[in-house]
Structure 1
């Protein structure tokens, strides 16, 4: 670990140059963590409490770690206002693991699962679910630029569940509503992948049968996945469901049925506490609106220099995806290079779609988004003809 010498790190990097506002890190995930959280974790890194060892070295059966686990679950319950008839538990395997876990736990024998496919991740989830039963794509799309009107969906009345991805990081499409579970679909649980916007806005968990979120976007480092599931949906997993993916087994084991991702759970707890201490979900939602609106205003007022193909009603607040001059790849490469020189990092779009992507999760401050906005204005001024 570099030692500080006369205000500089041993490796020659200025301490001032590595502060929380010295650069903008717009990675889609793993993403930036709150600076205060990183400092607290650093302080506790070698000796957690009075344990004399790091959290990474604690036994998952130790009283110290079990307390961390219980506090993390309690914090999630407070933050997301989770009622007693829902279980909160932590799993590993990320979102991809949940693509299998959801149908293995919830897709009944001989039943159908409805999927709303609006981007890369819901498409992958649907394809995985087809391995375990019948799946219905409620409204196939030729391109991922919006959410189809709910009145046009072809839903299954007795479906085991309706699945959707609340925010698609690759295409920059976000749901502005929760799918209906009334009338003919009152008994169809809604299941949501909230990996990339979990913790950025208020929502009513009672509208869902289950939600899950891989935390490496807004709530922690890679490794931990938070699952919130209604109790009456548990205990119905397929007989061939691996124990490690069985919601009921994980919940009964209080997230420590096996050795969990202990350090990731600990960090997730710290980030959730940080959200609580900084205004909760209400403040995170306000900040998210301010930051995303700032960038979309520049895009929309650039006379076509910057373009977004996503319908304005469904633009993501967390992943601002855009092109330069309709897809000039040379200009986009120049944008990414110039941005890096200005300490604005990880702006290249997903490899499957190209372009530019600015992921502005909770830990990305408003001043840093302002710096990106000013850079975008300057870049346009210097490259317009």
Structure 2
């Protein structure tokens, strides 16, 4: 464990093994006499790192042969615009609204003057759950969901069915469970939760969707541009991709995505059980059937700001950081991404238990 236990929502903690390996080769990358940060993205030294990272993503997520893996920039937020620019065919785009990030994606499509339709939403409940019985229409250009909602702590347990191509924003839970590619046509994610540092955006797209793009879309904003150039059309974030590659290597060493999911379930159970057993002292935001394995959002009874501040102060003294909830919902939030060890979650649970015992 690091000296600080980082529950931050992102950029979030990176596995110690990854940081140590990067540190070892920071000044001299495997005897090349220079850092990977200094290497040309056209050099064989970097291209090996680049291509290995792509292949490891394909292996870990069992990506089918007819999909391309792209490394882009601009964060996941740029994808709110790139997806409709590349996939819209002049028809309707259908969304499920489960929180801030899906709302922002809807907003971007509307800015472009595109026809949008929200087929399901949990807004009226304060985004406490994932809607049930989601029904996308057959005529949609594409359907769109956000798989995990960092702010509200909700997560899809399975992706909904869609006849139209399903687009998934998986920024905060990629590499934490296997992907059902029979349902998914495009998946994107910022790397800074489960895949490495900020600055790299992963896009995994079914190859036949690349041909949809209109010729009026700027070159840099076309998926086709980056697919044809193996994500080397312009200078990529080379050091971020290097660290992403090390993170893929780490996930493989844990036993792969399937083993990581089981471990995440065990971590989340520790924390949710502590909330449920607190007899109302702690109250989770998400309903039980929609609870996220990545982000646990909760409040202290009656949303007591004084007690909340006291717990955050005590956590800080115990070197637990990043527990303050998002400004839009308040409360507390423990982000327990892949790199968080079970010992870190147990330390938080122990602190919560002793705090509740003292302040009931």
Q: Distance in 2 between matches of 1:270 and 1:373?
A: 30
> What is the aligned partner in structure 1 of residue 129 from structure 2?
146
> Is the Cα contact below 8 Å between 1:167 and 1:194 reproduced in 2?
yes
> What is the aligned partner in structure 1 of residue 143 from structure 2?
162
Number of residue pairs the alignment of both structures matches: 357
Q: Distance in 2 between matches of 1:115 and 1:55?
A: 40
> Is the Cα contact below 8 Å between 2:69 and 2:205 reproduced in 1?
yes
TM-score (norm 1): 0.91
CA displacement at 1:53 relative to structure 2:
1.2
> What is the aligned partner in structure 2 of residue 16 from structure 1?
none
> What is the aligned partner in structure 1 of residue 284 from structure 2?
308
Residue 77 of structure 2 is aligned to residue 77 of structure 1: no
> What is the aligned partner in structure 1 of residue 97 from structure 2?
117
Q: Distance in 1 between matches of 2:297 and 2:57?
A: 29
Q: Distance in 2 between matches of 1:53 and 1:210?
A: 36
> Is the Cα contact below 8 Å between 2:96 and 2:102 reproduced in 1?
yes
> Is the Cα contact below 8 Å between 1:306 and 1:326 reproduced in 2?
no
Match of 2:201 among 215, 220, 225: 225
> What is the aligned partner in structure 2 of residue 30 from structure 1?
11
> What is the aligned partner in structure 1 of residue 106 from structure 2?
126
> Is the Cα contact below 8 Å between 2:2 and 2:16 reproduced in 1?
no
Q: Distance in 2 between matches of 1:351 and 1:47?
A: 42
| Backbone CA RMSD of aligned residues | 1.1
CA displacement at 1:21 relative to structure 2:
4.3
Q: Distance in 2 between matches of 1:29 and 1:317?
A: 15
Residue 33 of structure 2 is aligned to residue 52 of structure 1: yes
Q: Deviations over 1:87-139 (max 9, x none)?
A: 1110011110111111111111x211101010111111111111231111112
**SS of corresponding position for 1:326:** helix
> Is the Cα contact below 8 Å between 1:119 and 1:173 reproduced in 2?
no
Can you give the 5+ residue segments of structure 2 that lack an aligned partner in the other structure?
none
> Is the Cα contact below 8 Å between 2:153 and 2:285 reproduced in 1?
no
> Is the Cα contact below 8 Å between 1:212 and 1:225 reproduced in 2?
yes
Q: Distance in 2 between matches of 1:374 and 1:59?
A: 48
Q: Distance in 1 between matches of 2:253 and 2:290?
A: 30
Deviating 4+ runs (over 3 angstroms) = none
Residue 192 of structure 2 is aligned to residue 216 of structure 1: yes
**SS of corresponding position for 2:303:** coil
Q: Deviations over 1:345-382 (max 9, x none)?
A: 11000111110000000110011111111011011111
> Is the Cα contact below 8 Å between 1:73 and 1:88 reproduced in 2?
yes
Q: Deviations over 1:17-55 (max 9, x none)?
A: xxx243311000000000011000000101112321111
**SS of corresponding position for 1:283:** helix
> Is the Cα contact below 8 Å between 1:235 and 1:247 reproduced in 2?
no
CA displacement at 1:244 relative to structure 2:
2.1
Q: Distance in 1 between matches of 2:152 and 2:193?
A: 16
Q: Deviations over 1:125-165 (max 9, x none)?
A: 111111231111112431201111125x4x33211111000
> Is the Cα contact below 8 Å between 1:23 and 1:344 reproduced in 2?
yes
Residue 54 of structure 2 is aligned to residue 66 of structure 1: no
Q: Distance in 2 between matches of 1:245 and 1:318?
A: 30
CA displacement at 1:304 relative to structure 2:
0.9
CA displacement at 1:75 relative to structure 2:
0.6
Q: Distance in 1 between matches of 2:241 and 2:161?
A: 32
> What is the aligned partner in structure 2 of residue 264 from structure 1?
240
